[in-house]
């Protein structure tokens, strides 16, 4: 990790108190999103390895997506929820020949290990290992991501679905390359041993990828609408409210929280939804949202973007959706759709 951080600082990175790159040349990285690719270090995200013959059955019963029929090389997003279907984390799971690799949100790795440990019984052939800090996680984001990989000798089938992955060698480094960057944008995610992180980062940037920091990731996250723990993913909300329908299987059998999620879908009981909010000025997350004098929701995230301040927030379904005018903390806002979120049966009424 120290070698990677030293390299990133030599490329202009500003690090925060936890050693995470906050910014490089943000303007260059933004330009790269449309013409090439930005490179984001997500190594502070959690990585959990699940081994054992019951691993697919176990994760199938623990999360919202389906796993029992998935084959090595496949993957998907899935959601850990409580027994009452309140969100814990949105994670991406990669199925390999020997194990499952679970990419969690930052700071959620040990929480999820502790959560899953509660449901592992002596007869279960399941074991968990926390690989956070042992594996580097990089995401290439942008239309030119495949071209940069091709320059480095890595050709990826453009028809592979999201989260499908393959093993490749880059020089003497073995890595796993997955389709998708965690946003509704073209890109890829690389998982590799931490001891090789600096050499792979250098190859990617020499190949044309423009380094980007956490501040740009957060900007993109809000623009795209990806919910995050402690903001949009809390035990105040369920996955349907959070717009994560694409990570839920409604055809699978029982899992933790399944009964509540099925009931909300069957009886069309989603009372609030996550939306983007164009703001006239920055407002503080946690501020109430009003339509006229009526309280209609809560602002959960807010960032500055080149097109002005943008936020995410939950709006009561009956109050409206895209096009609704709101106010919050002295700022005016316009509710807008964002590409990461899906809405199930609610789509027809928007």
Is the whole-model pTM more than 0.85? yes
> In the prediction, which pLDDT does 120 show?
96
- Per-residue model confidence (pLDDT) at position 348: 52
pLDDT by residue for the chain (350 residues), tens only, comes to: 899 999 999 999 999 999 999 999 989 999 999 889 999 999 999 999 999 999 999 999 999 999 999 999 999 999 999 999 999 999 999 999 999 999 999 999 999 999 999 999 999 999 999 999 999 999 999 999 999 999 999 998 989 999 999 999 999 999 999 999 999 999 999 999 999 999 999 999 999 999 999 999 999 999 999 999 999 999 999 999 999 999 999 998 899 999 999 999 999 999 999 999 999 999 999 999 999 999 999 999 999 999 999 999 999 999 999 999 999 988 999 999 999 999 998 775 54
What the block records as the tokens of 38 is 């930005």
Own/partner long-range contacts of 185-188 (Cβ < 8 Å, ≥24 apart): 185/33, 185/141, 185/142, 185/220, 185/224, 186/141, 186/142, 186/143, 186/145, 186/146, 187/37, 187/139, 187/140, 187/141, 187/142, 187/145, 188/139, 188/140, 188/145, 188/146, 188/149, 188/156
Q: State which fold the 235-349 domain adopts.
A: Elongation Factor Tu (Ef-tu); domain 3 (2.40.30)
pLDDT in tens, 122-143: 999 999 999 999 999 999 999 9
Q: What is the DSSP string of 42-109?
A: -TTSEEEEEESTTHHHHHHHHBSS--TT--TT-EEEEEEE-TT--EEEEEEEEE-SS-EEEEEPTT-H
How many other β-carbons are positioned within 10 Å of the β-carbon of residue 300? 26
Same fold, 2-43+133-223 and 235-349: no
Do 299 and 313 form a contact (C-beta atoms < 8 A)? yes
Tell me yes or no: is domain 2-43+133-223 CATH 3.30.70.240: no
Burial label, 267 (beta-carbon count in 10 A; 0-12, 13-18, 19+): exposed
pLDDT tens sequence across 192-234:
999 999 999 999 999 999 999 999 999 999 999 999 999 999 9
User: What pLDDT was estimated at residue 35?
Assistant: 87
Structure tokens at 316: 């009561």
Q: Can you give the pLDDT at residue 350?
A: 47
What is residue 106's predicted lDDT score, i.e. its pLDDT? 98
- Domain-by-domain residue ranges, the chain? 2-43+133-223, 235-349
């Amino acid at each position: 990790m120290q070698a990677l951080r030293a390299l990133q600082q030599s490329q202009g990175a500003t690090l925060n108190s936890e050693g995470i790159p906050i910014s490089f040349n943000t303007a260059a990285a933004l330009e790269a999103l449309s013409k090439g690719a930005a490179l984001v270090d997500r190594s502070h995200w959690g990585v959990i390895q699940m081994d054992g013959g019951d691993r697919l059955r176990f994760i199938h019963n623990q999360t919202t997506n389906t796993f029992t029929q998935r084959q090595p090389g496949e993957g998907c997003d899935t959601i850990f929820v409580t027994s009452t279907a309140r969100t814990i984390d949105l994670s991406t799971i990669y199925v390999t020949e020997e194990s499952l690799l679970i990419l969690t949100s930052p700071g959620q790795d040990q929480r999820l290990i502790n959560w899953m440990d509660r449901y592992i019984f002596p007869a279960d052939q399941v074991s968990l290992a926390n690989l956070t800090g042992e594996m580097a996680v990089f995401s290439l984001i942008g239309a030119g991501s495949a071209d940069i990989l091709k320059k480095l000798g890595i050709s990826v089938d453009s028809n592979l679905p999201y989260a499908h992955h393959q093993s490749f060698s880059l020089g003497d480094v073995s890595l796993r390359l997955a389709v998708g960057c965690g946003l509704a944008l073209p890109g890829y995610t690389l998982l590799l041993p931490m001891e090789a992180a600096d050499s792979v980062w250098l190859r990617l940037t020499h190949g044309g990828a423009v380094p980007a920091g956490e501040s740009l990731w957060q900007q993109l996250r809000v623009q795209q609408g990806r919910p995050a723990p402690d903001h949009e993913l809390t035990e105040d909300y369920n996955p349907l409210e959070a717009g994560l329908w694409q990570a839920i299987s409604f055809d699978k059998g029982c899992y933790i929280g399944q009964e509540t999620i099925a009931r909300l879908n069957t009886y069309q009981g989603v009372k609030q939804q996550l939306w983007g909010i164009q703001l006239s000025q920055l407002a503080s997350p946690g501020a109430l949202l009003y339509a006229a004098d009526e309280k209609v929701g809560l602002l959960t995230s807010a960032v500055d973007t080149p097109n002005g301040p943008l936020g995410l927030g939950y709006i009561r379904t009956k109050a409206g959706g895209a096009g609704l005018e709101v106010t919050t903390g002295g700022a005016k806002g316009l509710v807008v759709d964002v590409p990461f979120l899906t809405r199930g049966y609610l789509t027809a009424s928007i």
